């Protein structure tokens, strides 16, 4: 596997979030929606790689995008990279969302930076009807609105304070929409409480759903077993591993704590 790729461009999305395009024919060719890449961010204090979801894949151009929120040392260092810089990336990794042709009507539910993996899912999913529900805290945090609009049939945005789109949580949006129309599968990514709530909503309606989880990682490929998350197994529970068994899991299988 070739690890060294090249930074194509960096564009700010808002104050602390940016979109990075990376030139890599290999990853662009192989990457599926919901998979992630593990990036060496550089900087004196970022020893481990950092995982980021594939946000958009341009197969024809041999590039892909990741959306990054600056949170700590690694993402800070990443934000300082410049066009043309070499960048050390492992990927694509993990299991992505299921793309089933029998799912005719799908909904994606994203919260905050959880929207990133959902964009490529919308782009690649064969469904005839695609609904996107995105929730943000406030208007300044709303990102990629146009990009999502271009990839779905209906886009609804909520903000906690109503400063953009509908006021309230995106999970309420989901409840409303599921009451209105028939959906075959829901794809969810965002903060844990939001995912938990969204999964419960889907369960209540007997609609299958998938969630994309986050956990701190070591190897990123299933060898070190640090990225454990609780899943149901034979009536009991076990630890699965986000990097290899996920990051996408069926909503029914995950045990949120």
Partner 1 sequence: MMENRIDLTVNIAGLSLKNPVIAASGTFGFGREYSAFFNLSRLGGIAVKGLTLKPRKGNPPPRIAETPAGILNSVGLQNPGVHAFIRDEIPFLRRYETAIIANASGNTVEEYEEMVSILSEADVDAVELNLSCPNVKEGCLVFGSSVSGITQVVSRVRKLCKKPLIVKLTPNVTDISEIACAAEAAGADAVSLINTLLGMAIDAKTRRPVLGNVTGGLSGPAVKPIALRMVYEVSKAVKIPVIGMGGITTGTDMAEFLLAGASAVMIGTAGFVNPYAWVEAVDGLERYMLESGVKSVSELIGGLMV
Ligand X SMILES: Cc1cc2nc3c(=O)[nH]c(=O)nc-3n(C[C@H](O)[C@H](O)[C@H](O)COP(=O)(O)OP(=O)(O)OC[C@H]3O[C@@H](n4cnc5c(N)ncnc54)[C@H](O)[C@@H]3O)c2cc1C
Ligand Y SMILES: Cc1cc2nc3c(=O)[nH]c(=O)nc-3n(C[C@H](O)[C@H](O)[C@H](O)COP(=O)(O)O)c2cc1C
Interacting residues with ligand Y (CB under 6 A): 218, 224, 226
Secondary structure letter of residue 221 according to DSSP: S
Residue 249, φ and ψ in degrees, nearest 5: -125, 160
Choice from 243, 247, 248, 251 touching ligand FES (CB under 6 A) = 243
Choice from 1, 15, 44, 257 touching its own copies (CB under 8 A) = 44
Burial letters for 94-127: b for 16+ Cβ neighbours within 10 Å, e otherwise?
Answer: bbbbbeeeebeebbbbbbbbbbbbbbbbbbbbeb
Kindly tell me which of 8 and 94 has the beta carbon lying closer to ligand FES.
94
Regarding 78 and contact with ligand FES (CB under 6 A), the answer is no
Partner interacting with residue 231 (select from ligand Y, ligand FES, ligand X, none; CB below 5-8 Å by kind): none
Regarding 222 and contact with its own copies (CB under 8 A), the answer is no
Regarding 229 and contact with ligand FES (CB under 6 A), the answer is no
Regarding 43 and contact with its own copies (CB under 8 A), the answer is yes
Q: How far is the CB of 47 from ligand Y (least distance, A)?
A: 11
Q: Which residues, numbered 111-150, are part of the site for ligand X (CB under 6 A)? A: 113, 116
Stretch that binds ligand FES, among 64-72, 82-90, 109-117, 215-223 (CB under 6 A): 215-223
CA-CA distance, 226 to 209, in Å (whole number)?
Answer: 25
Q: What token pair was written down for 195?
A: 């995912």
Secondary structure letter of residue 205 according to DSSP: T
Choice from 7, 25, 48, 255 touching ligand X (CB under 6 A) = 48
CA dihedral (96, 102, 104, 105) in degrees, to 10, reads -50
Q: Tokens 């799908």 belong to which residue? A: 106
Regarding 42 and contact with its own copies (CB under 8 A), the answer is yes
Q: Mask 81-110, x = binds partner 1 (CB under 8 A)?
A: ---------x--------------------
Q: Tokens 């995105």 belong to which residue? A: 134
The number of beta carbons lying within 10 Å of the beta carbon of residue 179 is 9
Partner interacting with residue 153 (select from its own copies, ligand Y, ligand X, none; CB below 5-8 Å by kind): none
Burial of 81 (C-beta count, 10 Å sphere; 0-12/13-18/19+): middle
Regarding 239 and contact with partner 1 (CB under 8 A), the answer is yes
Max Cα–Cα distance, the chain, nearest Å: 52
Partner interacting with residue 44 (select from ligand Y, its own copies, ligand FES, none; CB below 5-8 Å by kind): its own copies
Q: Are 131 and 118 in contact (CB under 8 A)?
A: no
Q: Give the interface with partner 1 as residue ranges (CB under 8 A).
A: 1, 3, 40, 45-49, 90, 215-229, 238-239, 244
């Amino acid at each position: 596997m070739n690890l060294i790729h090249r930074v194509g461009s960096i564009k700010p999305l808002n104050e602390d979030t940016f979109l990075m395009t990376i030139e890599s024919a290999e990853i662009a060719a192989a990457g599926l929606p919901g998979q992630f890449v593990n990036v060496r961010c550089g900087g004196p204090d970022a020893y481990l790689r950092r995982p980021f979801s594939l946000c958009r894949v341009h197969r024809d151009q041999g590039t892909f995008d990741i959306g990054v929120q600056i949170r700590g040392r690694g993402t800070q260092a990443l934000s300082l990279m410049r066009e043309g810089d070499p960048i050390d990336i492992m990927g694509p990794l993990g299991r992505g969302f299921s793309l089933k042709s029998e799912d005719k009507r799908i909904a994606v539910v994203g919260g905050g930076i959880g929207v990133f993996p959902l964009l490529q899912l919308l782009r690649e999913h064969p469904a005839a009807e695609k609904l996107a529900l995105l929730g943000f805290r406030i208007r300044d945090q709303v990102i990629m609105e146009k990009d999502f609009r271009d990839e779905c049939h209906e886009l609804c945005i909520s903000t906690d304070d109503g400063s953009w789109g509908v006021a309230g949580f995106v999970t309420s949006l989901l409840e409303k929409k599921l009451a209105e129309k028939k959906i075959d599968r829901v794809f969810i990514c965002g903060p844990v409480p939001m995912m938990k709530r969204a999964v419960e909503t889907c369960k209540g309606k007997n609609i299958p759903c998938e969630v994309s989880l986050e956990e701190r990682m070591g190897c990123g490929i299933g060898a070190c077993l640090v990225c454990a998350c609780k899943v149901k197994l034979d009536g009991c529970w076990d630890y699965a591993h986000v990097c290899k068994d996920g990051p996408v899991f069926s909503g029914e299988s995950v045990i949120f704590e």
